[in-house]
Amino acid sequence: MATQASVPTTPLKAEGRSPFVRLHELLADIQPGKTPINLSVGEPQHAIPPFVGSVLQAHLGDFGRYPANKGTDGFRRSAAAWLGRRYKLSRPLDPESETIVLNGTREGLFLGAMAAKRMIGERPGKPAILIPNPFYAAYSAGAAAADCDSVFLPTTRETGFLPDLDAISEELLARTVVFYLASPSNPQGAVADVAYLTRLAAMARRFGFLVFADECYCEIYLNGQPPRGMLEVSGPDFTNVVVFHSLSKRSNLPGLRVGFAAGDKRFLTRFVELRNIAAPQVPVPLQEVAIAAYADETHVKANRDLYVAKFDLADQIIGGRYAYRRPEGGFFLWLDVSAKGSDEDVSRKLWREGGLRVIPGHYLARDGADGRNPGTGYIRVALVHDKETTAEALHRLVAVLG
Going by C-alpha positions, the residue among 218, 254, 292, 355 that lies closest to residue 45 is 254
Tell me, yes or no, whether 259 lies in a domain. yes
Angle, alpha carbons 110-116-118 (nearest 5°): 120
Domain stops at, among 258, 279, 296: 296
Strands 149-154 and 176-182: unpaired
Q: What is the pLDDT of residue 368?
A: 87
Residues 275 and 374 in one domain: no
Tell me, yes or no, whether 4 lies in a domain. no
Residues 368 and 281 in one domain: no
CB 190 within 8 A of CB 155: yes
Tell me, yes or no, whether 144 lies in a domain. yes
Which amino acid would we find at residue 220? Answer: I
Residues 232 and 266 in one domain: yes
298 CB-near residues (< 8 Å, 6+ apart): none
Whole-model pTM: value is 0.94
Strands 149-154 and 356-357: unpaired
Rounded CA-CA distance 122/116 in Å is 11
Residues 314 and 193 in one domain: no
Q: What is the pLDDT of residue 370?
A: 85
Residues 345 and 313 in one domain: yes
Residues 37 and 184 in one domain: no
Q: What is the pLDDT of residue 17?
A: 85
Domain stops at, among 250, 270, 296: 296
Residues 337 and 383 in one domain: yes
Tell me, yes or no, whether 67 lies in a domain. yes
Residues 267 and 313 in one domain: no
Rounded CA-CA distance 222/309 in Å is 9
Tell me, yes or no, whether 98 lies in a domain. yes
What does the pLDDT profile of the chain (402 residues) look like in tens digits?
333 333 333 345 665 789 999 999 999 999 999 999 999 999 999 999 999 999 999 999 999 999 999 999 999 999 999 999 999 999 999 999 999 999 999 999 999 999 999 999 899 999 999 999 999 999 999 999 999 999 999 999 999 999 999 999 999 999 999 999 999 999 999 999 999 999 999 999 999 999 999 999 999 999 999 999 999 999 899 999 999 999 999 999 999 999 999 999 999 999 999 999 999 999 999 999 999 999 999 999 999 999 999 999 999 999 999 999 999 999 999 999 999 999 999 999 999 999 999 999 999 999 988 889 999 999 999 999 999 999 999 999 999 999
Tell me, yes or no, whether 7 lies in a domain. no
Q: What is the pLDDT of residue 13?
A: 62
Rounded CA-CA distance 101/259 in Å is 6
CATH number of the CATH domain containing 81 = 3.40.640.10
Residues 338 and 203 in one domain: no
Residues 226 and 140 in one domain: yes
Rounded CA-CA distance 128/148 in Å is 5
Rounded CA-CA distance 131/137 in Å is 10
Tell me, yes or no, whether 32 lies in a domain. yes
CATH number of the CATH domain containing 341 = 3.90.1150.10
81 CB-near residues (< 8 Å, 6+ apart): 92, 294
Residues 136 and 248 in one domain: yes
Q: What is the pLDDT of residue 392?
A: 98
Domain stops at, among 296, 329, 363: 296
CB 66 within 8 A of CB 291: no
Which amino acid would we find at residue 41? Answer: V
Three-class secondary structure assignment of the chain: CCCCCCCCCCCCCHHHCCHHHHHHHHHCCCCCCCCCEECCCCCCCCCCCCCHHHHHHHCHHHHHCCCCCCCCHHHHHHHHHHHHHHCCCCCCCCCCCCEEEECHHHHHHHHHHHHHHHHHCCCCCCCEEEEEECCCHHHHHHHHHCCCEEEEEECCHHHCCCCCHHHCCHHHHHCEEEEEEECCCCCCCCCCCHHHHHHHHHHHHHHCCEEEEECCCCCCECCCCCCCCHHHHCCCCCCCEEEEEEHHHHCCCCCCCCEEEEECHHHHHHHHHHHHHHCCCCCHHHHHHHHHHHCCCHHHHHHHHHHHHHHHHHHHHCCCHHHCCCCCECCEEEEECHHHCCHHHHHHHHHHHHCEECEEHHHHCCCCCCCCCCCCCEEEEECCCCHHHHHHHHHHHHHHHC
CB 83 within 8 A of CB 95: no
Count of the separate structural domains present in the chain:
2
Count of beta carbons in the 10 Å neighbourhood of residue 240: 26
Residues 285 and 308 in one domain: no
Q: Which domain holds residue 34?
A: 14-42+299-401
Tell me, yes or no, whether 316 lies in a domain. yes
Going by C-alpha positions, the residue among 44, 8, 33, 42 that lies closest to residue 364 is 42
